[in-house]
Chain A
Amino acid sequence: MAILQVKQVSKLFGPHAEQGLELLEQGFSKARLAKEKNITVGVNRVSFDIQQGEIFVIMGLSGSGKSTLVRLLNRLIEPTSGEILIHGKDLRKMNKEQLREVRRKKISMVFQKFALFPHRTVIDNVEYGLEIQKVDKKLRRDKAMTALELVGLKGWEDKMPHELSGGMQQRVGLARALANDPEILLMDEAFSALDPLIRRDMQDELIELQDKMKKTIVFITHDLDEALRIGDRIALMKDGAVVQIGTPEEILTQPANDYVERFVEDVDLSKVLTAAHVMRRPETITPDRGPRVALELMRERGISNLFVIDRTKKMLGVITAEDASDAMRNNRKLEDILVTDGPKVGPDTLLNELFEITSLSKVPLAVVDDNGRLLGVIVRGAVLGALAGESKSEEVKQDA
């Protein structure tokens, strides 16, 4: 079951917010509500489910309502309507104490400008969440130290926040959120205030941490590259509404409308698409066949090489047509002409890493999984083709 369900949640600001809700249903636009009724639509009937353990990215430009939306998830801002279910329990129906309990135990937050308490040391900052739960002093210190170690800041516990660099301060912010051992982490533009290089590192580390801890992360960003790098799924927001929800690949390859398409048009696909996207079904043969059969197969399919696999689909190597006809004349077996040191890549290899490998290799690239099983092959043209797919759609749009 989804850990967090958001159902038709809206947030309207203004004196007659309730009335605005009806008008929205009647089809009033955000601009018209603002102009005629003085109502600002922060979040407009948003629904989504977040699964346990995924990194769910909410992306949008400034003013798209993403920061408001994330604050609805722990009720830092009261929703105007809709349901927010955590483990099936409606956050909006909770009283103050129940809500506090959820914030203490289930949901932690990391802030854009870190929001560290400047009068507390690093370790006291990390301890804050436990301190207000009145956790035993020694226990909370231990937990805070563990969290601090996790983000690589051991030895900095007695410094004041202002003595740390931006990247380190946000690690403290992250450690503070992790110290509570929450199930859900809300990260509001958590890396936006950092330098690009440090941001990169933090993204990588977050993914690493996530592999270890399996939290559910709701990550807010305005940066598409960031969303594509870390998101398992992305919700794209515009004017307070969710325009499209999907995996990074879905967003890029099947944009739901013009807005999304415009949004993603500048994305360097080579940094997003992987080997798994461009590979084709391999032509294979088992090693117990002779060179004659192999040659016949190649002629039939119109190709110049064949991948040799065993019965468990484990890849043994590749044979070329040239070698095969030699072997046939000299009466040798397939094993003798097997090229075993051909290039292999994993299915998650990014396209931009494939360029060089394919250009240097005479035979197609083998895509194999961790157990050495052949998943597919990549021929040189496929990489370029995948990228060309994007430029083609651009041309079409320019014509229109």
Chain B
Amino acid sequence: MPKIPLASWIESLVDWMGTYLAGLFDTIAFIIQKVVGFFNYVFMLPHPYLFILILAVLAWFLGRLPLTLFTAIGFLVIDNLGYWSQTMSTLSLVITSALISVLLGVPLGILTAYSKTASRILIPILDFMQTMPAFVYLLPAVTFFSLGVVPGVIASVIFAIPPTIRLTRLGIMQVSGELTEAADAFGSTSAQKLFKVQLPLALPTLMAGINQTIMLSLSMVVIASMIGAQGIGAEVYRAVTQLQIGKGFEAGLAVVILAIVLDRFTQNIFKSKKRGA
């Protein structure tokens, strides 16, 4: 029995898309480039100390003393080790891909919660996306968007979007039938039911999804650096390829600090939202 030419099929599909959808990809690339650039510009605008001060104040409001201390000391260490600008470009990349993931993922999550057909189609795709080795996304991303930060963002979004979709869906489906029934019984339109009852109640679960998405896209930055995305990941990658253990540890530490701060910040934003509700 001859081998199924799966690999060549995929290649011709990618070729076809590269030829005929080039305009679309160019537009997407342009937008992503601009967004990442914008964030990077904003983050680099203030002096590192001023930026650290702003983060510390934010941390104070979100998590009180321990988080404030950790944030301040952590970022001072990053600055001291000389990874400030790389960390900021990584932060821009992570925030951009998280933003895209949320903008796409939340509506998709709502869609799968409402439509059985949509969830039958989308859920297997999500499983596929999450279990496929992340490196594999790099190839089509490079094919369509060449090298640099844009394919990095695209690969991160593909890798990181599933939790947002899944947990948005879960959050909406967890809203008790009695409550949606009550919303219906009082004559809500579908939109009113969604925005006044289902989404507010799904919020804690949805936020957990967004938190996961942010963490996943951060974990993608080292991989994305293989296709030329600049930032702290690139430093790690370079250290690894050149067997520089010390530098590798420094850069890795910067990733860890950024990860912990992002995680605590997002978690606490959601907690304080819950308290306020």
Contact = CB atoms under 8 A, between A and B. Distances in A.
Contacts of B181: 76, 111, 115
Interface stretch (A28-36, A101-109, A251-259): A101-109
B201 A103 contact: no
A117 interface: yes
B178 to A, nearest CB: 4
A23 B179 CA distance: 36
B201 A76 contact: no
B277 interface: yes
Contacts of A131: 196
Interface residues of A, number: 25
A170 to B, nearest CB: 13
Interface string B179-209: 1011111111100100011001100000000
Interface of B, secondary structure class, is helix
A305 interface: no
Nearest to A133: B187
Contacts of B176: 115
A386 B188 CA distance: 52
A129 interface: yes
Residue of A101, A108, A119, A176 with most partner-chain B CB within 10 A: A119
Interface in A110-151: 111-113, 115, 117-119, 128-129, 131-133
Nearest to B204: A119
Interface in B240-277: 277
A32 to B, nearest CB: 30
A119 B181 CA distance: 16
A76 B184 contact: yes
A184 to B, nearest CB: 12
Interface string A307-340: 0000000000000000000000000000000000
A221 interface: no
B187 A111 contact: no
Nearest to A179: B186
A132 B184 CA distance: 11
B268 to A, nearest CB: 19
11 contacts: A76-B184, A100-B187, A104-B187, A109-B185, A113-B178, A117-B179, A117-B201, A119-B201, A119-B277, A131-B196, A132-B189
